[in-house]
Amino acid sequence: MEPGDIVSQICDDADTFLAGVTRPAEARAGIEEWLTIHHARLAPADRKATVDRAMRILESEGFFQRDAGSEA
């Protein structure tokens, strides 16, 4: 799977696996855990880039300004 596809999958599923998360540090840890479960073989540099990109997208979409990661 391409890194961009992984980021899309993370962002699409964030409302589910990050339900109740309100702080970026918690989200980062949740994304790391998600990657460990679903893409354990992802190289460390790709893993960091994936987390960083997903976090930027979630922040730009206002994920952390909503009520605990719920739908707006």
The band of 4, judged by pLDDT with boundaries at 50, 70 and 90, is: confident
pLDDT of 20 over the 50 cut: yes
The band of 35, judged by pLDDT with boundaries at 50, 70 and 90, is: very high
72 part of a folded domain: no
70 part of a folded domain: no
Contacts (Cβ under 8 Å, ≥6 apart) of 28 = 51, 55
Q: What is the pLDDT of residue 66?
A: 61
71 part of a folded domain: no
What are the structure tokens assigned to 34, written together? 């998600």
Per the structure, the count of domains in the chain is 1
Q: What is the pLDDT of residue 22?
A: 86
User: What number is the average pLDDT over the span 16-42?
Assistant: 95
pLDDT of 15 over the 90 cut: yes
Q: Range of 56's domain? A: 3-65
- The model carries a pTM of 0.85
